[in-house]
Structure 1
Amino acid sequence: MVMDGHINAAFNLPITVAFCLTLVVVCGGYSRHGSRRLPDDLLLGAATASYQIEGAWDADGKSENIFDYAIHNQPCYAIDCSNGDVAANSYYLYKRDVEMLRELGVNFYRFSLSWTRLFPTSFTDKINKAGVEYYNNLIDELLKNNIQPVVTLFHWDMPQKLQQLGGWLNNNIVDWFGDYAEAVFVLFGDRVKYWITVNEPFQICEFGYGNAILIPALNLTGEADYICTKNLLLAHARAYHVYDELFRPKQDGIIFITISTEWFEPADNSNIEAANDANQFWWGIYAHPIFSKHGDYPRIIKERVALKSRVQGLPRSRLPELSPDEIKYIHGSSDLFGLNHYSSAIAYRNASTYYYYSSFTGPSHDADAGYMSYKPPEWKIGESDRTMYAPWGFSKILAYIRNVYNNVPVFITENGFASHGGLVDDDRVTYYRGYISAMLDAIDEGSYIIGYTAWSLMDNFEWWNGYRENYGLYEVDFNDTSRPRTPRKSAYVYKEIIRTRTLDMNYEPDMSIPLTFDLL
């Protein structure tokens, strides 16, 4: 295989796009299986994140995070002018959440910690006892029900105070994040054996710093996003090394980063390079420094940004260099490849692409990458276009990790489908069946996959989409102050997959029977 951002074994797979565009259900053979067995040791679970479900935004000593602050000052940040002040109210309803997990029969529950609920000053000088009690209660309730907690340290809700100090643009974030991680390991590490340092660095840096999609919405493309990238990788590595050196010997856990990986497929044989660039600029920039043979950023990114920077008259590359010591510090700093995946896209580069990006005279992440992409309308199932259906892309990303990153163990930490509500969510069922089958294809081909996580356990605040987009296995009624949760058809189907360890493409649940759990 070839490393450093050039064409590799994963791109030598036969291009399937042409017939996938017209008949996606047979792509990769996803309609051929009536029933498939899941490996007995594959962990199955569900996920949420603190700001999206907890509510209680200022209760019991919690201070502001960046979403609290920004949305209260810009009430219509979300498309429906909603916020996470109450959300699913899980701060008060966590026992019902655990009950739902028992109903599904999951092996684990992935959730994130609210930094400001634990440390209201943003630093570790003051610990909020109420916040600690909440997470202790949740963790203990999970373990009492034989459900392993998988805990994310950072899922986008930066303390507002630290954001005012620069957030991920301040080099001191490496120390701040390391201190936070160490304090959390002390508080909960005796019971938590799976730690995720950071969720989806591309979305944090590109959507929040390079663009205005996510808070803090700095919109400084080609500059702030690259600074964020370097500091985030170093902060992740700091948390990893703190755990590895100080806590792993006694706590014996696993720690890793989760990277969002949209798969970019070339439009045709002339666009293989464009698709490669897309994959590298989207997620290779975070995966390569950790998982590749020699570390550092992909070579194509370093060369491209340096060249564009020189053309723009800058004395150095806009992509901050990693020193040899930093490369070594980041390299190998993840026990697993945490993988979030929802959909894929078609990438291309043609004369109009060159003409369009040549008009960008200033810094631009998109101009640096120099590709364009689209998702064919034939991939759409259901009402939402947030999660287009292309399960073959899931197999390809897993093949890429297997071929390029030496088959590092993969923990799929998010995979799910957006809808606009309703309990009979057949499109979500179709999606889960297709993507789980694609995962099983990758396992058959040799991928080392240890866990699969459905996003999400319940409907929640979906950032700029507010409550308009629903991903939950359980529907939450946000118009009811008691926030009742009701299982969707997909919850029944997922429960059956977990119970039987079998993916049955033809199983039809009886939703008139309440979804209950077996007694322990």
Structure 2
Amino acid sequence: MGSFCRDENVAHFVAYASLVFREFSGRVVSWATFNEPSVSMFSGYLAGLYPPGRMFAFTTAGRYLKNVLAAHVDAYKAMKALPGGDRARVGLVVHDITFVPRRRWYMHSRWIANWMTYWWGRDVVLDFMMTGQYEWRVPGRGVRVKYSNPGGRPPCDWLGINYYTRCVVGWRLNATHMPGEVMTDMPYPVYPRGLYNAIKKLSVLGIPMYITETGIADRLDDRRKEWIRGYTRQIMEAINDGFDVRGFMYWTLVDNLEWNFGYKYRFGLYRWDPDVGGVDRQLRESAKVLRYVYQTWPSDLQTMRDYAKRLSSFEEGEPEGGSRKGWKWRALS
């Protein structure tokens, strides 16, 4: 059928979204039209990792992403027009990732990093959601795909942010890290500050934000505790600074099939061996830190904001002797 590379397929998606909404609107309040549209675009049409497995199909990739965004707009309107639509909150989930050169004077690495950031699509999607204007550029060829949403700025009730890291490009165009950074099992480093930066940048839309995915591949479970402390601290800081963050979801509960990587990378709070199968799942030690975070954080928005403000006045670190109060701060830092 040509997926979203064909304009006429937008209507098929809208019909599907309408059908699902009619069936489940009585049980679902918050809806996401798409999850990470730029990832399927990049992986399917530029990197050859996902179906249809094409590489460097730049113009087709731009057309694909344009139609996904147009489908979001049309699906939003269709769902809102159905019975129960006035109660529904319809949003979009984006993937936030940037690339930087290992050294700023690596000109070839900088060129690749800039284009990789562009191809992953965050800024293209953000520009469209802000203005209704879509432009897709191709190296050496300028703007190849343009679109203007007839209704101006697209509607969206909330934004989901999937954030994992900031990628570093080395001299050999290899994935690496900056001095002092710790690598995950996947080829990118732990970079908590990037989560705050993502929240800040995407807050320009002026709608509630949810951290819908963030996590770490850590088979040995020797970095996840510090990951949790670092990333949750950035969320608390963002809330204290006034950004409208409403929720945080860890990826993921149980070791999962990680797309084209299979079961190689272990993101789960529960360890699961696919070779053994069955229902035997073992809670990783690091999960206890996240469990404490969830148990401690308030469940309503205003109390959470007050809580973040109160925590911001604490000094970082655990007092000598390791009191529970100090550990509580570290669990949230």
Structures share fold, TM-score greater than 0.5: yes
TM-score w.r.t. the length of structure 1 is: 0.52
TM-score w.r.t. the length of structure 2 is: 0.79
Which runs of 5 or more residues in structure 1 are unaligned? 1-164, 311-316, 354-371, 510-520
- Secondary structure of the 2:32 match is strand
Measure how far apart 1:379 and its partner are: 5.9
Question: Does 2:189 correspond to 1:393?
Answer: no
Which runs of 5 or more residues in structure 2 are unaligned? 299-310, 325-333
State the alpha-carbon separation in 2 of the partners of residues 226 and 417 from structure 1. Answer: 30
Question: Does 2:162 correspond to 1:322?
Answer: no
Question: What one-letter code is carried by the residue in structure 2 that aligns with 1:381?
Answer: V
Larger Rg: 1
Question: Does 2:244 correspond to 1:445?
Answer: no
Number of aligned pairs? Answer: 300
State the alpha-carbon separation in 2 of the partners of residues 465 and 270 from structure 1. Answer: 30
Cα contact 1:379–1:388 (8 A) shared by 2: no
Measure how far apart 1:406 and its partner are: 4.5
Deviations 1:209-260 (A, max 9, x none): 222112221224212211111111111222211112224445x121111111
Question: Does 2:318 correspond to 1:482?
Answer: no
Match of 2:217 in 1: 418
Question: Does 2:285 correspond to 1:285?
Answer: no
Aligned residues with identical type, % of pairs: 26
Question: What one-letter code is carried by the residue in structure 2 that aligns with 1:229?
Answer: L
Question: Which of 174, 178, 186 lines up with 2:14 in the alignment?
Answer: 178
Cα contact 2:169–2:176 (8 A) shared by 1: no
Match of 1:246 in 2: 82
- Secondary structure of the 1:322 match is strand
State the alpha-carbon separation in 2 of the partners of residues 347 and 388 from structure 1. Answer: 11
- Secondary structure of the 1:450 match is strand
Measure how far apart 1:261 and its partner are: 0.4
Cα contact 1:409–1:450 (8 A) shared by 2: yes
Cα contact 1:387–1:418 (8 A) shared by 2: no
Cα contact 2:195–2:234 (8 A) shared by 1: yes
Question: Does 2:164 correspond to 1:336?
Answer: no
Change (3 A) 1:244 1:373: farther
Match of 2:294 in 1: 498
Match of 1:212 in 2: 48
Deviations 1:73-106 (A, max 9, x none): xxxxxxxxxxxxxxxxxxxxxxxxxxxxxxxxxx
Measure how far apart 1:416 and its partner are: 0.2
Cα contact 1:263–1:396 (8 A) shared by 2: no
Deviations 1:111-169 (A, max 9, x none): xxxxxxxxxxxxxxxxxxxxxxxxxxxxxxxxxxxxxxxxxxxxxxxxxxxxxx11121
The correspondence of residues 50-449 of structure 1 with structure 2, limited to 5 A, is: 165-249=1-85, 252-264=87-99, 279-282=117-120, 283-290=122-129, 292=130, 294-297=131-134, 302=136, 304-305=137-138, 308-309=140-141, 317-319=143-145, 321-323=146-148, 325=150, 328=151, 331-346=153-168, 375-376=176-177, 378=179, 381=182, 384-402=185-203, 405-420=204-219, 422=220, 425-449=221-245
Measure how far apart 1:205 and its partner are: 0.7
Change (3 A) 1:472 1:446: same
Cα contact 1:259–1:339 (8 A) shared by 2: yes
What is the RMSD of the two structures over their aligned residues, measured on CA atoms? 3.3
State the alpha-carbon separation in 2 of the partners of residues 432 and 491 from structure 1. Answer: 9
